[in-house]
Amino acid sequence: MILSLKRGLYEAAHAIGYTVVPNWRAGRYPQCAYLRDLFRLLDIDCVLDVGANVGQYRDLLRHEVGYEGKIASFEPIPELADAMRKRSQRDQNWIVENCALGPTTGAALLNVMASTTFSSFLEPTSSSTKRFEKANTVCDRISVAVRALDDLLPGLVTRLNVHSLYLKLDTQGYDLEVLRGAARALSEIRALQTEVSVRPIYDGMPDFSATLDSLRGYGFEPSGIFPNTEGHFPRLFEFDFHMINRQFVPPE
C-alpha cells in the first residue's frame, strides 16, 4: 500500500515537471543524475569499480543511477571481496576481483585501517585535519595481489563482451598510481572519476593540481565536480572529480 502511494506520488510529480527525492538521497542526487546522463551519452556498458570496499558504489549505480550494465569491482581485502562475491550471486552483471590495481602487476603491503573505507597503500597522516584520525588508523598490514590495468583489461573486455568502459577510482590517495599502470588501457576508457582530497590524509598523496595535470596528460578533460560534504558541511575535505576522454567529447 505504502509503495503504491509513493509510486503514485513520484509519477504525479514527474508528470508536472518535478522530481521527488527522499531526504537521504538528496545530497547525492545531482551526481547520480549526472552519471545517468553521462552513461547514456557515452553508451557505457561496463563500469570498473576500483576500490570497491563492500560494494557501495555498485549499490549507488543500481539503486540511484539506474544503471543495469556490467560492473567489475576490484577489492584487495579478502574478507570484503568474499562478502561482495556472495552478494553478486544475485546480480548476474556484477563480478568481483580480489585484487588491487596499481602501476605494476605483483604484490604490495596494504594498510588496513580501523574503518576499512580508509585502507590504503599510503601511510595515514592527521597533520591537515584530525577529523578522520580515529577511523584512519592502521590496524593491520597485509600483502595483497596487485594488477596493472594494462595487463588485465584485454582479457576482462573479452570475458564480459563489453566495449564502452567507465572507470571509478577510490583508492585512498593511490589513484594516480593506478593510472600509471593503465597508460594503454586509458585509450579505451570513455570517462572516469577520481576522489580528490583538499586536505591530505595520507603522506605523499597528490593534490588537485597534480591530479588535473596528470589526467590531462592522459587525454582527459574536466566534466564535473561533486563535493563529498555529507556530514562535514561547511568544510570541504574531498570531492569526486569526473573527466571525459577527449576522443569521446561531443563537439560544441
d(CA 145, CA 97): 10
Instruction: Looking at 16-115, list the stretches that DSSP marks H as alpha helix, in order from N- to C-terminal side.
Output: 23-26, 29-42, 56-60, 78-88
Task: State mean pLDDT over 140-153.
Answer: 98
Would you say 105 and 83 are in contact if contact means Cβ atoms under 8 Å apart? Answer: no
pLDDT band for position 251 (cuts 50, 70, 90) = confident
- Please report the pLDDT score of residue 236 as a whole number: 83
> What are the tens digits of pLDDT across the range 86-135?
999 999 999 999 999 999 999 999 999 999 999 999 999 988 788 888 99
> What are the tens digits of pLDDT across the range 10-45?
567 667 776 777 776 777 889 999 999 999 999 999
- Please report the pLDDT score of residue 188 as a whole number: 95
For the cut 90, the answer to whether the pLDDT of residue 247 exceeds it is yes
> What are the tens digits of pLDDT across the range 181-215?
999 999 999 999 999 988 899 999 999 999 999 99
- Distances from the Cα of 54 to the Cα of 60, 96, 147, 166, angstroms: 12, 10, 19, 19
- Does residue 29 or residue 231 have the better pLDDT? 29
Helix-then-strand count for the chain, H and E? 8, 10
- Please report the pLDDT score of residue 7 as a whole number: 62
pTM of the model: 0.92
Task: State mean pLDDT over 129-148.
Answer: 94
- Please report the pLDDT score of residue 19 as a whole number: 75
d(CA 173, CA 240): 13
Would you say 224 and 201 are in contact if contact means Cβ atoms under 8 Å apart? Answer: no
Would you say 55 and 62 are in contact if contact means Cβ atoms under 8 Å apart? Answer: no
And the C-alpha cell for 135?
A: 577511523
Residues 26-248: name the CATH superfamily. Answer: Vaccinia Virus protein VP39 (3.40.50.150)
- Please report the pLDDT score of residue 6 as a whole number: 57
Domain extent listing, the chain = 26-248
> What are the tens digits of pLDDT across the range 214-226?
999 999 999 999 9
- Please report the pLDDT score of residue 3 as a whole number: 53
Would you say 67 and 40 are in contact if contact means Cβ atoms under 8 Å apart? Answer: no
Query: Pairing mode, if any, of strands 165-169 and 189-197?
Result: parallel
Half-sphere exposure (CA, 13 Å, Cβ side) for 32?
17
Would you say 178 and 149 are in contact if contact means Cβ atoms under 8 Å apart? Answer: yes
- Please report the pLDDT score of residue 22 as a whole number: 75
d(CA 99, CA 82): 12
And the C-alpha cell for 11?
A: 509519477
> What are the tens digits of pLDDT across the range 48-89?
999 999 999 999 999 999 999 999 999 999 999 999 999 999
- Distances from the Cα of 105 to the Cα of 56, 108, 182, 197, 212, angstroms: 26, 10, 11, 26, 25
- Distances from the Cα of 245 to the Cα of 35, 86, 231, angstroms: 15, 34, 32
Residues ≥6 apart with Cβ < 8 Å to 187: 219, 245, 247
For the cut 60, the answer to whether the pLDDT of residue 165 exceeds it is yes
